[in-house]
Amino acid sequence: MSNSRLVAVTIIEKVLNENAYSNIVLGLELNKSELSDKDKALVTEIVYGTLKYKYTIDKILQHFVKNGFDKLESFVLNILRISVYQIRYLDKVPSFATVNEAVNLTKKKSNIGASKLVNGVLRSYLRETGEKYYNEENDIERLCFEYSFTKALVKLFIKQYGPQKAEEILKGLNYKPDVTVRVNTLKLTYKEIWEKLIENGYNIEEGYASSEAIRIIKGKNIENNILFNEGNITVQDESAMLTAPSMDLKPNMKVLDLCSAPGGKTTHIAEIMKNTGIVLAFDIHKNKLSLIEENIKRIGITNTTCEAQDATEYVPDLFEYADRVLIDVPCSGLGIIRKKPEIKWSKNIKDINNIIDIQRRIMDNASKYVKKGGVLVYSTCTLNKDENEGNIEWFLESHCEFKIEPVFFGEFDNIKYNDKGYVTIYPNEYMDGFFITKLIKS
């Protein structure tokens, strides 16, 4: 197995065994490797693909390792996982070559016995590629296997959205995301940035839902590009790009962003306000403030300051301070599985329920910071209704001075405008799952 596969296994080990974030550890490992751009792309494909289809892959492996699956050496198990992923989902490498490389790496990094096991399992799988590994009469098992989600998450989506919409969500969360960038019109026009990206060799398309978005279809790492380094563009999903415009921002306003790291929405707020007024960006994690400050400096923003602050703790000095308050609250992240597939395995229902109390404490504090006549925007990157609609209904019952003001982003198949005024964005090939509600204080 080539060095690229070893790097892929190393990354998966850290994600699954050490709870590392896939995007962060992938970047670190690729940067310190000496792999070619082609091999780096293959590692990225294998890592994200294996994490995405882990449930399905494990069901297949359990069919062939009937006894002792849970006792397999982690490194060996992950060699098996990336190999099944390549055989089942990739056409780039012949199956026999995948098997041979897996056996050789196991022999080198583990022992002869383990290499024989890997050889036997993979060759048995190649002989039985038409085998069914789940009960075809059980729709839950079918959805779990076909889309590679845990039963708990499949049941959650079915309970909240019904079988048909749940399957659409599962499908949407498995799309491979393109890189999307937001243009910074403080420096250049959309047309100028578009032309410069083409000059730099990028294959690009217009955004799907946001007028400020450009999709990068093909090209080198965008964060190594001069347009990014000079602050002309910011990498951001289109769902997140809709948040700041929903705040009805005006020049010279006072704005609070209570959960701001890494700063994508914060900088968007400042851009829309044309660098006027005051933007205060808070985050509980002091070490993450440097990310916001880096983005602010790179983009050329001068109206924003950053400070470490726990959004669940009330700050009396901020009472009715702000014209606009954004709370993009910490959440279960079930809407961004396209980009962080390990969320499928790192979240359980208990974790999801525990976070709701934190969200409501943030909502309660934020309500006190908004001036009368001001706007509070609540957003999440999850599709769990308890964190979305459930929290809004709780908030309105206990904060009668607020009412929902509907927002409209255009007619799109994946954007649902609820009769009560909040917006759910379903994941598709262009956008992550997201939730946005605009609230007015009387």
Q: Known binding site for S-adenosyl-L-methionine: residues?
A: 259-265, 283, 310, 328
Quickly list DSSP for 242-302: TTGGGG---TT-EEEESS-TT-HHHHHHHHHTTT-SEEEEEES-GGGHHHHHHHHHHHT--
Among this protein's residues, is 381 annotated catalytic? yes
Q: Is 330 in contact with 355 (CB distance < 8 Å)? A: yes
Q: Where are the alpha helices (DSSP H) in 128-206?
A: 139-147, 151-161, 163-173, 190-199
Q: Within 13 A of 132's CA, how many CA atoms are on the CB side?
A: 7
Instruction: Give 166-187 as a DSSP string.
Output: HHHHHHHHTSPPPEEEEE-TTT
Q: Are 69 and 81 in contact (CB under 8 A)?
A: no
Q: Is 181 left (phi over 0), alpha (psi -120 to 50) or beta?
A: beta
Reduce the DSSP state of residue 2 to 3 states and report it.
coil
Catalytic-role residue among 144, 306, 331, 381: 381
Report yes or no: 241 and 265 within 8 Å, Cβ to Cβ.
no
Q: 304-308 and 278-283: which strand pairing? A: parallel
Q: What is the spatial distance between Cα 76 and Cα 258, in angstroms, rounded to a whole number? A: 44
Q: Can you tell me the distance from the alpha carbon of 246 to that of 13, in angstroms, rounded to the nearest whole number?
A: 40
The DSSP 8-state label assigned to residue 223 in this structure reads G
Cα(41)–Cα(37) distance, rounded to whole angstroms?
6
259-277: burial string, b at 16+ Cβ within 10 Å, e else: bbbebbbbbbbbbbbebeb
Q: How many CB atoms lie within 10 A of CB 397?
A: 8
Residue among 223, 173, 211, 157 at smallest CA distance from 51? 173
Bond prior to 427 in cis (omega within 30° of 0): no
Residues at the annotated binding site? 259-265, 283, 310, 328
- Residue positions annotated with a catalytic role: 381
